[in-house]
Structure 1
Amino acid sequence: MADAATEEMVLNMGPQHPSTHGVLRLELITDGEIVREVIPHIGYLHRCFEKHAESLTYQQTIPFTDRMDYLASMNNSHIWTMGVERMMGIDKDIPKRIEYIRVLVCELNRIASHLIAIGTYGIDIGAFTPFLWCFRDREHIMGMLEWASGSRMLYNYIWVGGLFYDLPVGFEERCREFVEYFKPKLVELNGLLTDNQIFISRTANVGVLPMDVAINYGCSGPMLRGSGLKWDLRRIDGYSVYPELDFEVPIGTGKMGTVGDCWDRYKVRVDEIEQSLRIVEQCLDRLQKELKRTPDFDPRAKMPRKITPKPQDYYVRGEGAKGELGFYFIADPAGRSEVPFRVKSRGPSFCNLSVLPALAKGVMIADLIAIIGSIDFVLGEVDR
């Protein structure tokens, strides 16, 4: 039987397969249950973002940033507006209350994004209950962000120079109630999934991503930190008010297997939820004690009437929910137009997904599902 002839077979996983987390087609070259090669085929969810940015003003493009990583839209618009404000030279003039509100809503959105990653990952492995729990708790965050912005998913809330609205009256109190409600729920989720022996067996020592490989492929976010590198742009670049906040940067430790395996990437996201809760609490403290709402506070007071940066090339980056989200701007060479000459987007999901063929060589098809789920990509950001 050892000399029995084998034949490779080509299988299509997607573009409508439930474990591909969106419209992604994976062409698998298999030898029985063993995956010899994975060839990703993308482009099914093209958002035309960069083309939109060439024909709209900087302010008008913000709703289109929301549609890239649509699970963490606040982070996208925050990084975009931060780049435009720096090009205009008004980044130091933004009131502290606005900066703290921006960080508050971004961290709430990061928690919501990670809850989707954890819940869908559980259902990929075969655990249905964590999926329901994560979506139940995410619903509270969606309700609060809808209350603040008027939208559940695509917010258009953070604008160049300010915010669309100030926080509604009572928002801080409701947000604090959510934090107190959610902390014990996170402990329950850890008991159900993180320490589940079946889940550990499916994820530990599977899809190991060494640190040097992660760096060479341009991985970032939980993908890179899961491989053991403490690299978080909120700390490295210290943008907005993050330098004033106290939080840790979780990394993969190899506690259940090898550093950089699927379990480590999952655990980094769980730990990041805890750190985001710390950040939210600190923002609420500042907003309720030192940066209180006043009747004359106008969140649009610093918004420029016309956004025409000087001729320049500028790259801005920030820590999105999936990793380093960057925008490379080429302003109008004449310095007169409100429409950028060119905008290039650096989506973290695109770089993180590119390492999949290297991770999937020689694994079982069932393990490939675990690897895909541990990457946590969004196709709107991959295709842009």
Structure 2
Amino acid sequence: MADIELVPNKNFPAKNDHPDLVGELTTLNLGPTHPATHGIFQNILQMDGEKIVSGEQTIGYIHRAFEKIAERRPFYQITTLTDRMNYCSSPINNFGWHMTVEKLLGIEVPKRAQYIRVILMELARISDHLICNGILGVDSGAYSGFLYLMEKREEIYEIYEEICGARLTTNMGRIGGMERDFSNEALRKIREMLKSLPPVLKEFENLFNRNRIFMDRTINVGPISAERALSYGFTGPNLRAAGVDYDVRVMNPYSSYEDFDFIIPIGQSGDTYDRFMVRNEEMWQSMKIIDQAMNNLPEGPFFADAPEYYLPPKQEVYRSMEALIYHFKIVMGEIDAPVGEVYHSVEGGNGELGFYLISDGGRTPYRLHFRRPSFIYYQAFPEMCKGTTLSDAILIMSSLNVIAGELDA
């Protein structure tokens, strides 16, 4: 508990700043490394006893300057940066970046590659929501649900491992498509996961959805109206929990999302309970999308005919001089991109994840900006905590699903 410091705050006397309060306010320094903050960031809270009067957040403790680093990297090497933003659902970050570059280059990705991307992005969304809702249960004092869900997350990581050999930061895609097609084992693991996840998720819901203690801890805790959420720039589950029916997959379809039938769950009050319920239902919808994609997976190539930008298969590099030349030029970053300015967004685990790319015709981005949903909605945290207790603030932060790597990218 060394990260929490409780001292009298002489700079904010109650009689001046908060005349309705009786007694002396104290400053609670929550973070930056306290486990309850779920990341390295700080909240300086003014407290009247257990009640939060106001707060101010401080970020930047793990800022890694990804946008600046990207200006010195060839386009395909930036995947190792997007990987490490929201590391709970890294495939969505990576494919979003690949689609942005494909938009700049004018590359049309084959239908099979688009469906494979959808399957992997929805698996990543499930993994992201499993972590968020499971840990929300832990923060409310219920540990069992977390154990159930982490077993299922492990199965998703094993699917990643089968596809690319990695588990957390998963470089499965390429500019122009996928690195490789699904193996039979990968297809088997995905189908097995679609069978094994529903009963576990149902049991998790039985533990929490109508649990009186959990409901008392989350209902009307940290609510935000639709108008306030929009004014802050909320997207994703946190916006939909406030009652706004906005999803990038529907509003601006990409990677053939228009081919799939699914609903967008929305809440009403925008409180912690609604955020929990929206993410729960989104996992069911993701499974529905994956099932449709698996049943209708198109035949054909898994990468576009764009040899100037798509890394050739290693077997071809060993026996084809043309493939060897392209491999060398791509790896060494010797192919110029066209001049252009593009923006592309995907529905990330936390909301609209956007990439604003400016190319001056060189071999690296002239300028690249990430629209990180965590950075945007975390600004509302002090307002959502005002008037609540310290224990409520922990649950509010947990339900927002603030990912420090995305916040400080």
User: What's the TM-score once normalised by structure 2's chain length?
Assistant: 0.87
Task: Spell out the pairing of 1:175-186 with structure 2 (5 A cutoff).
Answer: 175-186=190-201
Q: Does 1:197 align with 2:225?
A: no
Residue 273 of structure 2 is matched in structure 1 by: 263
Task: Spell out the pairing of 1:31-42 with structure 2 (5 A cutoff).
Answer: 31-42=48-59
Task: Spell out the pairing of 1:60-99 with structure 2 (5 A cutoff).
Answer: 60-90=77-107, 93-99=108-114
Provide the rounded CA distance (Å) in 2 between the counterparts of 1:109 and 1:382: 19
Listed one character per residue, the Cα deviations across residues 341-379 of structure 1 (whole Å, up to 9, x for unaligned) are 110111001111111011111111111111111101101
* Number of aligned positions between the proteins: 366
Task: Spell out the pairing of 1:243-322 with structure 2 (5 A cutoff).
Answer: 243-253=258-268, 259-287=269-297, 291-292=298-299, 297=301, 299=303, 301-305=305-309, 308-322=336-350
**Cα separation, partners in 2 of 1:5 and 1:321, compared to 1, 3 Å:** closer
Gaps of 5+ in 1: 254-258
Residue 217 of structure 1 is matched in structure 2 by: 232
Query: Are the equivalent residues in 2 in contact too, given 1:47–1:68 (CA < 8 A)?
Result: no
Provide the rounded CA distance (Å) in 2 between the counterparts of 1:236 and 1:300: 25
Residue 44 of structure 2 is matched in structure 1 by: 27
Query: Are the equivalent residues in 1 in contact too, given 2:172–2:178 (CA < 8 A)?
Result: yes
Listed one character per residue, the Cα deviations across residues 265-286 of structure 1 (whole Å, up to 9, x for unaligned) are 1100000000000011011111
What SS does the aligned partner of 2:40 have?
coil
Gaps of 5+ in 2: 1-19, 310-329
User: What's the TM-score once normalised by structure 1's chain length?
Assistant: 0.92
Listed one character per residue, the Cα deviations across residues 308-353 of structure 1 (whole Å, up to 9, x for unaligned) are 3332221111100000111111102xx2x22011101110011111
1:155 CA displacement: 0.8
Q: Does 1:381 align with 2:406?
A: yes
Residue 54 of structure 1 is matched in structure 2 by: 71
What SS does the aligned partner of 1:29 have?
strand
Provide the rounded CA distance (Å) in 1 between the counterparts of 2:174 and 2:376: 27
Residue 28 of structure 2 is matched in structure 1 by: 11
Q: Does 1:342 align with 2:342?
A: no
Amino acid at match of 2:292: Q
Listed one character per residue, the Cα deviations across residues 274-304 of structure 1 (whole Å, up to 9, x for unaligned) are 00000110111112xxx24x7xx46475453
Amino acid at match of 2:281: D
Residue 256 of structure 1 is matched in structure 2 by: none
**Bigger mean CA deviation after superposition, 11-20 or 139-148:** 11-20
Residue 318 of structure 2 is matched in structure 1 by: none
Amino acid at match of 2:171: N
Provide the rounded CA distance (Å) in 2 between the counterparts of 1:298 and 1:221: 29
**Cα separation, partners in 2 of 1:149 and 1:4, compared to 1, 3 Å:** closer
Query: Are the equivalent residues in 2 in contact too, given 1:50–1:344 (CA < 8 A)?
Result: yes
Residue 124 of structure 1 is matched in structure 2 by: 139
Radius of gyration: which is bigger? 2
